């Protein structure tokens, strides 16, 4: 009888320990943080620093970790390598920027096929294997820029356009601009980008040289539109250096610090403002929801767009 009592007591102790250990393991599981990877296409740029600020806010709110892989000099080889590095790190999700290279998209497909969600922020790629896009509606951004061109030209004149090739958001912005200017036959749009390589487009000095050459080639040009922050600042630098402030109007993108300085000096007339911080925030939020088992409600999430004019800054002072 005593023997059976001892057996019963032993079984009860084991049962209690089993339940306690299960509770401990469950708690450990809930305390573990999800880990995501952000692939920064151009390290040290103010625009992407704003996006990272949004990621940090979301990471703090949802209790996740964000690892950053910086690409020092963007190329398709470095981009693919960064994606491979992220996958090898056993990350649970990746935030990246869409880049129109077959090798990059092939690697994205490999990653998503392994069950790792990839979210593009800022720049989307049509027919990509990415799970979701968070960023501006770039066609609508182009429409806003086109309306500003009409405003400063009065509906006629020569307009020079600078953009990055192989970047889909730039193409959509161009389409949006053209949709507005199609109603103004007296506005002549000069797209000079096709004369330059992608590497030159990403280089500020090359961008400045391109602006200078464009102004020399088209002396009747009165407006420059830069469809990204690089070209906008390059145009401002050259126009100021050439003493053409007031003679040549500049429409651009993004409210970076250098751009705002040029607007205050009257060098840049207006910019289309995006929300990179919100792109980063919602990118992390959606990744967290997905790994927690929530269904994705929408594969495209657009952040707010607005127009900031130099006169707005003067009124705010």
Which tens digit of pLDDT belongs to each residue from 138-166?
999 999 999 999 999 999 999 999 987 76
Backbone angles phi, psi at 303, to 5 degrees: -95, 165
Q: In this predicted structure, what is the pLDDT of residue 31? A: 58
Q: Does 220 fall in a domain?
A: yes
CA–CA separation, 256 and 248 (whole Å): 21
Digit-coded pLDDT (tens) for 300-316: 999 999 999 999 997 77
Q: Whose CA is closest to 212, among 185, 174, 244, 166?
A: 244
E-strand spans in 87-127? 93-96, 118-121
Q: Does 99 fall in a domain?
A: yes
CA–CA separation, 239 and 258 (whole Å): 14
Token pair for 250:
């500049």
> Do 145 and 85 share a structural domain?
no
CATH number of domain containing 95? 3.40.50.2300
E-strand spans in the chain? 35-40, 65-70, 93-96, 118-121, 132-135, 157-162, 187-191, 221-226, 249-253, 270-273, 300-302, 306-309
Digit-coded pLDDT (tens) for 93-143: 999 999 888 999 999 999 999 999 999 999 999 889 999 999 999 999 999
Digit-coded pLDDT (tens) for 238-261: 999 999 999 999 999 999 999 999
pTM: 0.86
Q: In this predicted structure, what is the pLDDT of residue 317? A: 65
132 beta partners: 119
CA–CA separation, 38 and 66 (whole Å): 7
Name which residue leads in pLDDT, 205 or 171.
171
Q: Does 172 fall in a domain?
A: yes
Q: In this predicted structure, what is the pLDDT of residue 202? A: 60
Q: In this predicted structure, what is the pLDDT of residue 195? A: 46
Bridge-based pairing of strands 249-253 and 270-273 is: parallel
Give residue 20's pLDDT band: very low, low, confident or very high (50, 70, 90).
Answer: very low
> Do 46 and 131 share a structural domain?
yes
Bridge-based pairing of strands 221-226 and 65-70 is: unpaired
Q: In this predicted structure, what is the pLDDT of residue 28? A: 40
Q: Does 316 fall in a domain?
A: no
Q: Does 315 fall in a domain?
A: no
CA–CA separation, 96 and 41 (whole Å): 8
Domain, as residue range, for 117 = 33-136+276-304
């Amino acid at each position: 009888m005593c023997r059976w009592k001892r057996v019963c007591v032993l079984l009860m102790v084991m049962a209690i320990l089993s339940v306690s250990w299960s509770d401990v393991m469950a708690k450990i599981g809930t305390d573990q943080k999800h880990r995501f990877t952000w692939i920064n296409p151009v390290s040290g740029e103010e625009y992407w620093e704003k996006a990272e600020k949004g990621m940090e806010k979301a990471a703090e709110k949802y209790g996740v970790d964000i690892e950053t892989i910086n690409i020092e000099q963007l190329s398709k080889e470095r981009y693919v390598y960064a994606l491979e590095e992220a996958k090898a790190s056993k990350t649970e999700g990746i935030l990246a920027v869409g880049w129109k290279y077959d090798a990059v998209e092939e690697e994205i497909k490999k990653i998503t096929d392994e069950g790792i969600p990839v979210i593009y922020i800022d720049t989307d790629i049509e027919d990509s294997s990415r799970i979701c896009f968070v960023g501006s509606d770039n066609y609508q951004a182009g429409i806003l820029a086109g309306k500003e061109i009409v405003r400063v030209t009065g509906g006629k004149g020569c307009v020079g356009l600078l953009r990055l090739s192989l970047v889909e958001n730039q193409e959509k912005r161009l389409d949006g601009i053209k949709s507005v200017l199609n109603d103004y036959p007296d506005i002549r749009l000069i797209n000079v980008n096709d004369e330059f390589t992608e590497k030159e487009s990403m280089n500020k000095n090359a961008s400045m040289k391109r602006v200078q050459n464009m102004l020399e080639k088209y002396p009747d040009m009165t407006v420059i539109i830069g469809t990204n922050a690089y070209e906008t600042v390059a145009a401002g630098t050259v126009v100021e250096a050439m003493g053409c402030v007031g003679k040549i109007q500049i429409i651009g993108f993004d409210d970076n610090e250098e751009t705002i300085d040029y607007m205050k000096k009257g060098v840049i007339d207006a910019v289309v403002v995006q929300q990179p911080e919100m792109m980063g925030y919602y990118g992390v939020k959606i990744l967290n929801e997905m790994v927690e088992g929530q269904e994705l409600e929408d594969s495209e999430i657009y952040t707010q767009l607005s127009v900031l004019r130099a006169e707005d800054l003067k009124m705010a002072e």
